[in-house]
Amino acid sequence: MYTHSAVTSANADFEGLICKGLGQRATSHIAAISVVQKLSPGRTLFSEGDAAENVYEVVRGTLRLYKLLPDGRRQITGFLSAGHLLGLAHEDCYLYTAEAITEVTLCRYPRARFVRMVDEVPGFARRLLDVTSNELCAAQDQMLLLGRKSAVEKVASFILTMAGRRGGQRSEVHIPMTRADIADYLGLTVETVSRTLTRLRQDGVIALQSACCIELRNPGRLEELGAGELAGDL
């Protein structure tokens, strides 16, 4: 079920980044099974428990992934942007819900045919391994973030992660997520996130240009905070 989204079947619209480094023949093979899908902000791509019929690649925009606890609380497990894959789990059902934060463009691949390409497309298995290895590293970082870091360390690490996307560190960081999203991702309250951002601003580490834009005033100090070296001094 794909409600509230636009779908385009034409292969001419193929924009998948999973083909990076592969030859034209391999790219054409992958494009032949792809469908370009667009999702509006706030719309659901799939829900936890839905049949896992497709694999998706984010081309543009940002998605939030989350699970609901039995008492209704939400735990955001990740934010995906361009180049990330989702829906590759071995289970028959999706294990989380995926929602659009911004306007999102995806490439949709039928799961069974996507898996077969590992044997059919030269170089595809290695490319897939690279992508999934990066996601495993991100999952391990998230475990550290939730389990061992203080509020200051968590928020600093989150800002640095966002700054490092799309081609390295930037002085201005676009944060499309709400404070509630950030809180549910870091395992904090909204009040703690807001209070920590204010402390970082007052200390001259960042500047809050708007609700969605953070300027890095002192990236070196932010990195030290994220690593836990200066948290006690803030």
Q: What is the pLDDT of residue 205?
A: 96
Q: What is the mean pLDDT of the chain?
A: 84
What 118-122 contacts at long range (C-beta under 8 Å, 24+ apart), as own/partner pairs, is 120/29, 121/22, 121/26, 121/29, 121/30, 122/22, 122/23, 122/26
Same domain, 140 and 155: no
Q: Which helix (H) or strand (E) holds 97?
A: strand 97-100
Residues 110 and 9 in one domain: yes
Same domain, 174 and 70: no
Q: Please, are residues 24 and 71 in contact by the beta-carbon 8 Å criterion?
A: no
Tell me: do 88 and 130 sit in the same domain. yes
Q: CATH no. for residue 160?
A: 1.10.10.10
Residues 18 and 123 grouped into a single domain:
yes
- Of the chain, the percentage scoring pLDDT greater than 90 comes to 50
Query: Which pLDDT score is estimated for 115?
Result: 85
Q: Which domain holds residue 184?
A: 149-233
Q: In the chain, how many domains are there?
A: 2
More confident call, 114 vs 203: 203
pLDDT for 27 equals: 79
Picking from 96, 21, 22, the residue whose alpha carbon sits closest to that of residue 56 is: 96
Same domain as 223, residue 177: yes
The reported pLDDT for the residue numbered 23 is 72
For tokens 């389990």, the residue is: 147
pLDDT at 125: 83
Same domain, 105 and 199: no
For residue 103, the domain's CATH number is 2.60.120.10
